[in-house]
Structure 1
Amino acid sequence: MAAGHQADYHIDSAASQASFQVRLLWLEHIGGNFTQVLGEVAPGPSPDSLVVDAVIPVQSVSMPSKRMRQWLLAPAFFDADHHPTIHFVSDPVAQAELDSGGILTGNLTLRGVTAPVHFAVQPAHCEEQSSTPCHLTLHGRVQRSTFGMTGDHLPLSDSVELNLSITLQRENR
């Protein structure tokens, strides 16, 4: 993103998604996608800093089978009836770190538990004065047990790989 700090961006939900993978029985990976990522990127508290505020509706999860999807939405995993969203709020990040790539830290709330997380950010060269969408790619890992997902600990790895493909659109003000 070009220098300057007054731009606000919203996450283009139709063009953004989050995917995950977890190892099953130490042999194969199972994964899925969240087809909706909502939120915004706004100026942070200091010049040239930004704060990411993203929400993922749990019901937007897509899996290879209906049975697996129901398993993930159940109380042992996402508990979608009681915790319908996943929420991430970043610590302020310098725009230069998004340009060159770096680490995005913040807090993730999942199943009512908030814990610190960090994502590796691929370099993204977004022009602040342009109406062209900006694409961010983030990679990270979380531990299921941190968020109370302790069921099926023998067949499933505790470590979950998260990948986010986020498209930002500049707010028209």
Structure 2
Amino acid sequence: MRHLLSAIVLLLVVPLATAAELRIDPGRSRADFSVRLLWVSMVSGSFEKIHGDVTVARAAGTATVTAQIDLDSIRMESARLRRWVLAPEFFDVEHHPVVHFVSLPLPLATLTQGGDVQGSLTIRGVTRPVSFRMAPNDCTPGAMAGCVLRLEGSIDRTDFEMRGHRGALSDRVNLGLAIVLAAA
């Protein structure tokens, strides 16, 4: 019986010891986007409320990123443009207030050396597979708190049912994220 209790305790403690959690610092992280307008200029904005976690599974040698962006935190060059992108034809913030991203497990080396980050992105209740490119950084794998993860990618807005003004706006939306990690 004592061996059974020891085995149960070991099974409960080992996963806790091999998984570490970092949080996304919402005050220092941001996401930017840009989309071409009339093939001449760019419309851009940034989201200033990003929160989520990076779960590190050291035994498996992987990490998983989960992030949410509060759409109401968008900043744009004009109030008119801000109202336009929050309206039902684009983000429809009233019914879909957040963008959600969950990565597939990625090798720990990607957090410092950079590389592709695959996952699922949900916008307007529509989930699609996406790929972002993470830039290398100077962080050490054992001390990720304070580290800035920079990611870039693009999506087709029509994949997420954002079809408004297709004659004036490009379907391709460029995304950039600067995620600052903090200890959980």
Map residues 1-173 of structure 1 onto 2, 5 A cutoff: 6-44=19-57, 47-130=60-143, 132-171=145-184
What's the secondary structure of 1:8's corresponding residue?
A: strand
Conserved 8 A contact 1:21-1:162 = yes
Unaligned runs of 5+ in 1: none
Displacement of 1:124 in angstroms is 2.6
Higher normalized contact order (CA 8 Å, seq sep 6+, divided by chain length): 1
- Kindly provide the CA deviation profile for residues 85-122 of structure 1, in whole angstroms up to 9, marking residues without a partner as x: 00000000011122211000000000000000000000
Quote the Cα distance in structure 1 between the aligned partners of 2:98 and 2:124.
Answer: 8
**8 Å Cα contact 1:59-1:73 kept in structure 2:** yes
Number of aligned residue pairs:
168
Q: Which has the higher helix share?
A: 2
Measured in 2, the distance between the counterparts of 1:92 and 1:13 equals 22
- Give 1:8 deviation, angstroms: 1.0
- Separation in 2, partners of 1:102, 1:114: 22
After superposition, the C-alpha distances for 1:3-33 in whole angstroms (9 at most, x for unaligned) are: x953210000000000000000000001000
- CA–CA distance in 1 between the matches of 2:74 and 2:58? 33
Rounded Cα–Cα distance in structure 2 between residues aligned with 1:9 and 1:45? 13
- Per-residue CA deviation, residues 33-79 of structure 1 (Å, 9 max, x unaligned), is 00111000013596110110000011001110000000000000000
Letter in 1 for 2:93: A
Q: Deviating runs (4+, > 4 A) in structure 1?
A: none
- Whole-angstrom CA distance in 2 between matches of 1:115 and 1:131: 29
Q: Compute the RMSD of aligned alpha carbons.
A: 1.7
User: For each residue in 1:109-153, what CA deviation from the matched residue of structure 2 results, as whole angstroms up to 9, or x when unmatched?
Assistant: 000000000000001343354475011000000001000001100
